[in-house]
Amino acid sequence: MTENNDFVALLEKSTWKDNHNSIWLASSLKLYRNIANYSFPSKLDVTKQKQLISVISKAALNSKSLKNPICFEASEISPLDKQFLFEHFLSTDNVFEANTNEAFIVDESGFLFLQINAKDHLQIQKIDYKEEIEASWNELMILETDMGKSLNYAYNSRFGFLTSQISHCGTGFKGHIYLHLPALIHSGKIHEILGLESDDIIAYRGMRGEVSEFVGDIVILYNKATIGVSEEDILQALRGLATKLTIREKSLRSHLEEDIEHQIKNKVSRAYGFAFHSYEFDVIESLNAISLCKLGIDLNWIEGINHKTLNNLLFNTNRGHLLSLDKSIKQEEIPHKRAELIHEAFKNTKLLI
Amino acid sequence: MSERPLECGDCKKPIKVCYTEIIGDLITKTSMCQDCPELQKRLHGIPQPSLEDAQKTGVCCGNCGTTLEAIKQGSLLGCNECYEVFSDVLAKEIVTFLAPCSKVNKKELVLHKGRSPGETAKVGPAFKLIALNDALKETLKREDYEQAALLRDQIKELMENNPDDRKQ
């Protein structure tokens, strides 16, 4: 097992920091698997949980698909480090949920993440910011197959891969795409467009699970069906809807109607002022301000800052990331420190409207 | 703010009860739905049905003890045997959940359509091409010729990089 901070150092070197994306911010693909003839984690005794950590981690660490992987048990890392990990991998799982005898594996790329003994014996996740969900799927599948040579996955022909949640059985595959759509959202067209372009297999939500409003103007597309459809169906549906929404957003940004342009200019300039001068920020306020400033960059209303810096801020303003930058920050100082980080990023910028 | 009990983290039912426990100086608040077994346990000290009792009534998994009642309340399944024991109930629930998905054939007995363990057929970039072509048709319909031109260039570049996809 490894030092507590090794994986934080590993992930801080990762290439989320090279994300220049304007609209398609990230993708996350996840496979849920269980090992046959072992009860699922919620019903498994401690001895068998530890046994599974040993068996599964051995299969993962021996796989050629992972580059210099490290494995660590959840009990060995602080809650803060766990929060950092979950933020980095865009996980919506409850960070503070007490899963006993849980373990994690990350590798040198910083884009592959394995969880052992969460709700299922094994979750394998690949995150990506290059819009390459098909290549990510291939990578995920090869790793899963490689590990499957020494693991016997729970499977039957009727229900497919068997998972603790029936909403995940079948392919056991969940894909998420994170799209930044501020023009569609602030022009009031997002729900109309989502209604027109909707797909049976794909659902959408915001960062906090909401469907009526979108924090940070980020819309997350995901497959609601994991059974009754193939992995190719899911990938094709995700790709199709993400492409259509991206094009719609680009079209709207280049042809804003006059009254909508005035409204959005007002919002962007206020967000800029907020980013530049606020003494404190909570997470939602910072996401919303950063989002509008990203739009401002694309519309040539803000200069002196780029998408790479702002995308980086989307992560670094989260609690786990903020505290990993400076562990001496006290809980009550976090909103102010968040504001300081944002001020620093904006110091050489200029509002052009 | 009060939290749901850890055991009931996945229950999707609306919260109806706020249970406050005061032991000395420690105040704990827990939110639960009205059917929560955890609530019953705290109010009346009702023990969980024993595996033997549940087995007698034939409504639980013989391997892990997960009961049909627990599944209906939204609990996690306990093992792969549960899929055999409760297969009809689970199939019905899956079909209900997938009702809005027209692409899914809900009358088929075998619901799983994806790969099986060990299958490694890779996915190529064809989906990207299909998605771009669909988006192109739509932008032309909307007479957004600027975006259509950009899409056409992307399609051309993709086909030049992947000549095999021209056949599709």
**pLDDT tens sequence across A108-134:** 888 999 999 999 999 999 999 999 999
DSSP for B147-165?
Answer: HHHHHHHHHHHHHHH-GGG
Helices then strands, counting H and E runs in chain B, come out as 7, 2
**pLDDT given at position B168:** 44
| Least confidently predicted of A286-295, B68-77, B126-135 | B68-77
Q: How far apart are CA B37 and CA B49, in angstroms?
A: 11
> If you average pLDDT over every residue of chain A, what do you get?
90
Mean pLDDT of the B41-70 span: 69
Q: What is the share, in percent, of chain A residues with pLDDT greater than 90?
A: 68
Query: Where does the pLDDT of residue A288 fall: very low under 50, low under 70, confident under 90, or very high at 90 and above?
Result: very high
Residue A207 in this model has a pLDDT that exceeds 70: yes
**B79-108 per-position pLDDT tens digit:** 999 999 999 889 888 888 776 676 666 666
Of A71-75, A258-262, B53-57, highest mean pLDDT: A71-75
Residue the block writes with tokens 């809807």: A241
**pLDDT given at position B43:** 73
**pLDDT given at position A304:** 94
Strand A218-223 to A173-180 pairing: antiparallel
CB A121, CB B48: distance < 8 Å:
no
Between A327 and A265, whose confidence is greater? A265
B64 to A43: CB separation less than 8 angstroms, yes or no: yes
**pLDDT given at position B48:** 53
Q: What is the ipTM of this complex?
A: 0.85
Query: Where does the pLDDT of residue B4 fall: very low under 50, low under 70, confident under 90, or very high at 90 and above?
Result: low
Residues in chain A closer than 8 A to B124 (CB atoms): 134
**pLDDT given at position A222:** 95
| Least confidently predicted of A196-200, A263-267, B112-116 | A196-200
**Within a 10 A sphere around the Cβ of B45, how many other Cβ atoms?**
7
Mean pLDDT of the A186-194 span: 92
Helix A258-277, helix A334-346: angle, nearest 10:
120
Residue B37 in this model has a pLDDT that exceeds 60: yes
Residues in chain B closer than 8 A to A225 (CB atoms): 98, 101, 103-104
- Compare CB distances from B76 to A164, A170, A242 and report the shortest one's residue: A164
Query: Where does the pLDDT of residue B7 fall: very low under 50, low under 70, confident under 90, or very high at 90 and above?
Result: low
**A56-69 per-position pLDDT tens digit:** 999 999 999 998 89
**pLDDT given at position B83:** 94
- Coil, helix or strand at residue B92: helix
**pLDDT given at position A35:** 97
Mean pLDDT of the A174-202 span: 91
Residue A264 in this model has a pLDDT that exceeds 80: yes
B135 to A247: CB separation less than 8 angstroms, yes or no: yes
- Structure tokens, A42: 């919620």
Residue B49 in this model has a pLDDT that exceeds 60: no
Query: Where does the pLDDT of residue B69 fall: very low under 50, low under 70, confident under 90, or very high at 90 and above?
Result: confident
Mean pLDDT of the A288-292 span: 95
**pLDDT given at position A153:** 97
Between A215 and B103, whose confidence is greater? A215
**pLDDT given at position B1:** 47
A228 to B87: CB separation less than 8 angstroms, yes or no: no
> If you average pLDDT over every residue of chain B, what do you get?
79
**pLDDT given at position B15:** 80
**pLDDT given at position A213:** 85
Name the DSSP letter for residue B87.
H
Mutate which: A247, A250, A254, vs B, most B CBs within 10 A: A247
Mutate which: B6, B60, B61, B79, vs A, most A CBs within 10 A: B79
pTM beyond 0.80: the answer is yes
Residue A215 in this model has a pLDDT that exceeds 60: yes
Largest separation between any pair of C-alpha atoms in chain B: 75
Question: For A229, which residue in chain B has the nearest alpha carbon?
Answer: B113
Counted residue by residue, chain B has a size of 168
Nearest to A324 by CA among A75, A1, A2, A85: A85
B131 to A138: CB separation less than 8 angstroms, yes or no: no
**pLDDT given at position B5:** 67
**pLDDT given at position A258:** 79
Where residue A14 falls (left for φ over 0; alpha for ψ -120 to 50; beta otherwise) is beta
- Coil, helix or strand at residue B140: helix
Residues in chain A closer than 8 A to B68 (CB atoms): none
**pLDDT given at position B60:** 87
Q: In the beta sheet, which residues pair with residue A225?
A: none
Residue A102 in this model has a pLDDT that exceeds 70: yes
Cα-Cα-Cα-Cα dihedral of A193, A196, A197, A199, to 10°?
Answer: 130
B101 to A224: CB separation less than 8 angstroms, yes or no: yes
| Least confidently predicted of A90-104, A110-124, A306-320 | A90-104
Distance (Å) of CA A216 to CA A83, A131, A186, A353: 20, 20, 11, 22
